Structure formats: C-alpha cells, structure tokens
Structure 1
Amino acid sequence: MTEIPEHLLKRAQAAREKSADAASAAEPAAASGESAAPAGDSRIPEALLKRSQAAKAATAGGAAPDDEGARGGGVAVAEKVGAMVAAVPTSAGVPVGAGPGGHTQRLLTVVKSGSIQDVKATPVDKVHTWPHLLAAEFVAALAMTAFTFIFSVFVNAPLLQLANTNATPNPSKAPWYFLGLQELLTMFHPMVAGVTLPGVGVIFLILAPFVDRNPSNKPEDRKFATSLMTVHLMFWAVLVMIGSFFRGPGFNFVLPWVDGLFFEL
C-alpha cells in the first residue's frame, strides 16, 4: 500500500480542525435563524437564499407555500446546495488545501500512453505478387508457348548439312537474331559495332528504371519511355530486315525482287 506523504496528512488534519470549528460556530447562528456563512462567502445565489428563508418561515408558521412548483423545488435545491457548501471547509471563500485558482484536483501519477495507443499501418498503393502478378505472367507464358507451337507447325526449320571448312557458303549469314549486329559490322569499325554500341545499349537498359521513374502503367502517361523503346525496336528491326533480305553474295547490297532472296528460315 502506498504511504501518504507527511505534508498531506498535516494539511488534511488542519482542514478537519477548521471544518469542526466552522460547524461549531454555525450551530448558534442556525438556532437564531441566521445564515451559517457570511453573505460575501456564500456561494448560493441571493434569490435562492431569500426563497429558502421564506419557505422555512412559512413552514414554521404552518402555512403552505403559495407556489408549490416554484418554491418547493427551489427550497430543495437551496437546502442541498447549502449542505454541500457547509461540508466543504473554506478560508476566505477558497476551500482549504486548494491549489491555485481554488482547484481541488491533485495529480497522483503520470501514466505512459505507449501501451494503450492503437497504431495502424498507413495504407499504401501495393498489391500482392500472388495472384496479381504471377497469374498474368502465367497466362502470358501459355500464350507464347501456344504461338511458338503453332509457328513451328507452319514454318519448317530443318538442320542444314554438316559444315564444310573447304567450302564457305556465300553469303555467310549469322542467325536472324544476330543479323542486326552483323549489319552494323558493314557500317562501322569492328570495335565500335561489336563492343561500343552493344555496351552502350546494355548500360542504358540497366539505367532505364532510374531514368524513367514514372509509376503509372498506362502508355499515355509514359510517352518518353514508350517512344524510346519504339525507336530502339524499329532501329534493330530495320537492321535485321536489311541483313536478311537485302544482302546477297559477298554480303553485298542486292534487291530481292531483282537478284533473288538469299535467306533461309
């Protein structure tokens, strides 16, 4: 059990003594019909005090009040308020042991609010990987597998004969996915076409997420990224088509509708 400080015990004892003195001084005044507290110290409105005295005089004389609804309720309220005021020890209109401004509240202890706080996570614009992302990727993988299967049915891709080191084919072309790089070798130095330009492309692809930080998934909101990727694909597609259909013997430029087609799928 918590011990009460000594100064609080002394203050309570002084309050009890002053309350007993006030009660003993109020008894003769009550016997003579006077108010227990001075008019200046009373906290009861003057109208209620007069109504209470009139009701007491009427009751002592045996006469009933004229207005029961107006006086009876007022007498009861006045008597209750007077009893509460008399029960509180006062000193010059201020309760004994009160703090600044006459307040009687006391701060016992400070309770930390960390354990009673209901902290909720702030909602963010995110979705789970499953099923939102993986379901779409699975459907895309099935579509690409079906397209590859159908394409292989209609397009024949047989293995060629064994390579003969004594007879180099003319023209000698790389697979179609490398024909763009082979076409660059006819335009630039091998160091530029084989190392510099492909290296710059790979580095740009690595930096692409940091260059374009637009979180939108709509093409109309990402015109810069869409335009840049379209230009890259068109540039590479044009190189592949030139190497496939417009290069003949000696990898020279030919017209397919004049000299024929020197390309095999």
Structure 2
Amino acid sequence: MVEIPEHLRKRAEEARAKAEAAKAAAAGGPAEAGSGDGASEAQQQAASKIPPHLLERSKAARAQASGGAPEAEAPAAAAGGGGVAVAAPPTAPEMPATGPGGHTQRLLTVVKSGSIQDVKSKPQDKVHVWPHLLVVEFVAALFITAFTLIFSIFVNAPLLELANYNQTPNPSKAPWYFLGLQELLTMFHPMVAGVTIPGIGLLALMLAPYIDKNPSKRPEDRKFAISLMTIHLMFWAVLVIIGSFFRGPGFNFVFPWEAGLFFEL
C-alpha cells in the first residue's frame, strides 16, 4: 500500500466536512438550502479538482431526480374537475455513478514524485585496463629500456674470447637458468629429466587455479596455491645452486670452499 501524502489527506477531509455541512443545511429548510446551495456548490467546486463538465452533468442528474415527482403529479391536478386523472407511471431517474459527496471521480492510488525505477550506482573495485593499467606498464617499460641502454654504453658485456674447438672447457655448464635441467640429467634418464619432470611441474601450475578456486587475496586463505608455488621455486632454486657452485671439473660434486668456484655468468 502506498502512503497518502498529508496534504491530500487534509484536502479530502475538508471536502468531506463541507459536503456534510451542505447536507445538513439542505435538511434544515428549503430556504436555507436555496440560499446556501450556490455557496456550497461553489465551495465544493473550489475544494475539489473535478472538471466543470462533470460537475454540470452531476447537477443536471440531481435536478432531474428531485423534480421528477412534481412533474408526474401536475397532469392529475389539472384534470381534477372533469374526469378521472390517470397518473403517469413514474419513471426511475437515471442515477449517475457517484461516490461519497457526489463526486464522479475516485482516487486509485498516489504515486510519489520521482523516478519509478530506483537506479543506484554500486561502487566497484575494478578499473579498466586502459588507461589505468597499460599506462603504468608502458612507463615502466620505457624506464627499463632507457636504463638498459645507458648501462650498456658504460659497461661492456662479459664476452669471452672466440671459441676454440680444440679445447673444450671443463666443466662445461649451461647458462644458470638451465642448470636445473642439467643437474637433473646427472640423476635421471634424459626423457625423465628433460620431459617428464618439467611437464609434471608445468601441468601442476596450470591446474592450480582450477583446484584452488578461493577468490581471497589474503595469504592465510590461499595455503594450497602458496604451498605449490613455494615447492616449485625451492625445487628449481636448489638444483640451480647445486649446479652452479657444487659442480667442478667433469661436472663432479665438489665443495666450493675446497676446490674453488667453477661458475661464470
């Protein structure tokens, strides 16, 4: 249910009170009703928002209903001296469909002013990729490029002499980021060390988002994902450290504090 505003409720009470006063005046006497008829109707018309043509129609119907009985008795009085007077059957006056107080309109509902659709913008913790993200990444890329260019101007790359195919370096080590795989080759078959173990690691990393679907960003709520990534990093870090500092001539295991370092960037 819609709550009726206060000003409309007061207006309806005033109109109802005026209508009751007009009925009381009409019941008190014809003279008082005749004198106060015009004033009460004018007050009702001013108090209500009914269109004038509907008020005129209501007045005509009310006058027809009140004047139908005398018009039916008039022919009988005129014929009283000379014969039998036959009274015309009274015709039922057509009563208009009126409401309380003679109003021919009714109020269905009251709609408060404003939009029917309640549209509220909800705050979101998301931003667009452009320009919020790409601008920062582009500026960072420009900075790194400028730093690398300036650094390469003043510092030469650590290149060795031309390779001598008659003299193979001992130990022959891969770059540091491949030393983990080279260390696995000393322990397992090349198929296992180069395909199976790295493939299992990559597959586990790809399936991690589908296994751990927790949307939280707090580390204490993402124990599975953090544990998996920690194991992955520690596994390869240990292999790279062993291949870099604990492998000497012939790629044999040595202690760096005894045999020295056999590692170059």
- Please state which band the TM-score falls in when normalised by the shorter chain: 0.5 to 0.7
CA displacement 1:3-31 (0-9 Å, x = unmatched): xxxxxxxxxxxxxxxxxxxxxxxxxxxxx
Is 2:180 aligned against 1:180?
yes
Q: How does 1:183-194 map to 2 (within 5 A)?
A: 183-194=183-194
CA apart distance, 1:157: 1.5
Q: Report the CA distance between 1:178 and its aligned residue.
A: 0.4
Separation of aligned partners in 2, 1:154 and 1:228: 39
Superposed CA deviations along residues 176-197 of structure 1, whole A, max 9, x for unmatched, are 1100100111222221111101
C-alpha change, 1:160 and 1:88, in structure 2 (3 Å) is: farther
C-alpha RMSD over aligned residues: 4.5
Q: Judge conservation of contact 1:52–1:75 (CA < 8 Å) in 2.
A: no
Q: Is the 8 A contact 2:244 2:262 kept in 1?
A: yes
What secondary structure sits across from 2:39 in the alignment? helix
Which consecutive residues of structure 1, in runs of 5 or more, have no partner in the other structure? Answer: 1-43, 66-71, 97-102, 106-116
Q: Is the 8 A contact 2:61 2:96 kept in 1?
A: yes
Q: Is the 8 A contact 2:61 2:95 kept in 1?
A: no
SS of match in other structure, 1:95: coil
SS across alignment from 1:263? coil
TM-score, length-scaled by structure 2: 0.55
Corresponding residue to 2:23 among 49, 60, 81: 49
Superposed, which structure 2 residues align to 1:74-113 within 5 Å?
A: 76-77=39-40, 85-88=58-61, 95=96
Query: What is the correspondence of 1:1-265 to structure 2 with a 5 Å cutoff?
Result: 45=20, 48-54=22-28, 56-58=30-32, 76-77=39-40, 85-88=58-61, 95=96, 125-142=125-142, 144-145=144-145, 157-164=158-165, 166-216=166-216, 219=219, 222-265=222-265
CA offset digits 1:103-152 (Å, max 9, x no partner): 989xxxxxxxxxxx989798665321122211232344356546756886
Give SS of 1:132's match.
helix
Structure 2, unpaired ranges of 5+: 1-18, 46-54, 66-91, 98-103, 107-115
Percent identical residues: 58
Other structure's SS at 1:134 match: helix
Aligned residues: 195
User: Partners in 2 of 1:237 and 1:219 — Cα distance?
Assistant: 22
**Matched AA of 1:170:** N
